Amino acid sequence: MSGSGGVALRSAVLRRQATRAGRSLSGLGLAVRRAAGRSRRRWRQSLQLRVVTTTMLLGLVVVTVLGSVLHSQIARGLEEARITNAQYEALALTAEAQTQWQASTSSSVDELNQAARDIMTRILSAAGPESTRYVVMSRSAGNDSDVVLASLQSGALGLSVVSPDLREAVAADPSTQQVQLTQVRLDGRELPAVVVGSVVQVPTAGPYDLYFIFPMEQEVETMGLIGQAFVVAGVILTLLVGAVAVVVTRQVVDPVRRAGEVAQRLSAGRLNERMPAKGEDDLALLATSFNNMADSLQSQIRQLEGLSAVQQRFVSDVSHELRTPLTTIRMAVDVIHAGREGFADTTMARSTELLAGELDRFEALLADLLEISRFDAGAAALDVEPVDLRGTVGKVVAAAAPLAERRGSTITVHAPAEAAEVDVDERRVERILRNLVVNAVEHGEGRPVDVHVGVSADAVAVVVEDHGVGLRPGDAANVFTRFWRADPARARTTGGTGLGLSISLEDARLHNGWLQAWGEPGLGSRFRLTLPRRSGGTLHSSPLPLSPRDL
């Protein structure tokens, strides 16, 4: 039991450690994504950042290319200089060695080997201790003398460094100095080296090849220093280019930013905002033109506001003034309409019915105009209370049932089982839904009308869908315009005023809600009302799709 308990304990500890590690990795990934998101937003929002970064990158590319070209040219120059110096030095040392061989009196093999070592030591010491070179002496390929001397090398680099191609070249033309570039390994480093080959005549022993190896250590160190200097200079130059770009772009971006800030304040209604205009350059011209445009817009807006105020006052005054004579006319029409059965002339009776119907439409239009004037004056207010929209939809559908029956349409409600409770002014919401349902029946061409109710955590939506004529492209943006009609030639059959959808849109906006339209010819149309569940809330999405394609 104790053993199994220990295993279980270790397993639990390992699981906890794995869980903590997973959480740490998840937190790290989330932090990285957030940082990347902030960087992307900063990149998209800052013109100065993009210009400075692009300038620095282009400057870095130019400095890199230029530095590479200069570096390669300097390296080529040092290489050519080293080869030339090596040739002259090897030529002098070869002549010195030949002179010493000619003055030598050695005859035996041992004496000749000792003389070779002495000559190698003397020619190495003749150039001074600061000169780094290696000497190799080996029997020439064409030497047929019976006296064979040992091959000599002065240090770590020996005959293995000399390539077969160089040895063949020396053997083919002994009278000419042969040069070759190669790579050698010295003190654990790979270094380029110049190998110069010549031939000396050894008394009794015949021709021997003499190779001088010059490692380019100093040149490599020089190029390393030059490369470091180029890197440091490139970084400094790139930073300087970036600093210059910051200064230059600031002179351009700052006025543009100020123009953007002034434009935002203008769009917020602060029409007296202007840009500071100094100097005579292009930016000053931009500021002057911007200010002139703002002056013109301010003048036109004030003119339009004056005209709108006059129009609103006119509509309000006319609507109120018409109510008194309209009341009198209504009383007279009601009396005449009530006695129409006693008219001997059927034409007179029919005219009375038409008069009563048109008076109803006139009263509805007058009521809508008064409501519009309240919206324009900012006097509309909400009487908010908790309402289950399923009941409101039911009342609207029941009221529209006689009209739907006359038009040959059926209205079907699709509501969820859960309550669609929302804080609204039920009178206004009922008016919105009534306008939508009546319009759907009128334009549905006798086809079914569907009313969908959707609920989410933050919003409630109602979609009224018909399958009639639909909307042409662009009509969805115009259906809420006052007195707008999709087909001006089509006769009205239900006595609409042309203001229903406009008032509905204003009612939806009072609730911080959305009223949207979708339609296509032959596919019908859909109107969606979306309301926040709590008064004063903000909408981010709707529980129901606007178009059938989103289903």
Bigger pLDDT: 532 vs 252: 532
Q: What are the structure tokens assigned to 139, written together? A: 């029997």
pLDDT value of residue 6? 58
Is 197 a residue whose pLDDT tops 80? yes
**Residues sharing a CB contact under 8 Å with residue 98, sequence separation 6 or more, in sequence order:** 200, 201
The domain 385-550 having CATH identifier 3.30.565.10: the answer here is yes
Q: Grade residue 1 by pLDDT with cuts at 50, 70 and 90.
A: very low
pTM for the full predicted model: 0.48
How confident is the model over 229-242, as pLDDT tens digits? Answer: 989 988 998 889 88
Looking at per-residue pLDDT, the higher value among 413 and 315 belongs to: 413
Q: Which of 445, 444, 461, 442 is nearest to 545 (CA)?
A: 461
In this prediction, residue 490 carries a pLDDT of: 47
The position carrying tokens 């070759």 is: 180
> Taking each helix axis from N to C terminus, what angle separates 426-443 and 389-407, rounded to the nearest 10 degrees?
30
d(CA 260, CA 274): 11
Spatial contact of 214 and 86, defined as CB atoms under 8 Å apart = yes
Say how far apart CA 230 and CA 232 lie, in whole Å.
6
Tell me: pLDDT of 461 over 90: yes
Phi, psi of 198 (to 5 degrees): -140, 175
For residues 513-521, average pLDDT: 88
Residue extents of the structural domains in the chain: 10-42, 98-222, 274-380, 385-550
Q: Residue 224 phi/psi, 5° resolution?
A: -60, -45
Q: Does the pLDDT value for residue 541 go beyond 70? A: yes
Separation between Cα atoms, residue 534 and residue 537, nearest integer Å: 5
pLDDT at 506: 84
Query: Does residue 384 carry a pLDDT above 60?
Result: yes
User: What whole-number distance in Å separates Cα of residue 490 and Cα of residue 180?
Assistant: 100
**Stretch 277-297: mean pLDDT:** 78
Angle between helices 500-510 and 346-377 (to 10 degrees): 30
Torsion sign, CA atoms 523, 442, 506, 391: negative
Assess whether pLDDT exceeds 80 at residue 18: no
Q: Say whether pLDDT at 305 is over 70.
A: yes
Q: Give the pLDDT score at 319.
A: 64
With a cut of 90, say whether residue 269 has pLDDT above it: no
Q: Above pLDDT 90, what percent of the chain?
A: 13
Please tell me the least confidently modeled range out of 27-36, 108-117, 256-265, 311-320. 311-320
354/349 Cα distance (integer angstroms): 9
What 3-state DSSP class applies to 14? helix
240-254, 280-294, 314-328, 452-466: the lowest-pLDDT one? 314-328
Q: Which residues pair with 452 in a beta bridge?
A: 414, 463
* Residue 453 · residue 414 · CB < 8 Å: yes
Closest C-alpha to 291, from 276, 274, 270, 272:
274
- Separation between Cα atoms, residue 178 and residue 195, nearest integer Å: 8
Give the whole-angstrom CA distance, residue 535 versus residue 511. Answer: 7
Q: Is 143 helix (H, G, I), strand (E, B) or coil?
A: coil
pLDDT at 414: 92
Specify the range with the lowest mean pLDDT, choosing from 81-90, 173-182, 326-335, 433-442: 326-335
Class at the top of the CATH hierarchy for domain 274-380: mainly alpha
CATH number of 98-222: 3.30.450
The residue with tokens 């939809």 is 393
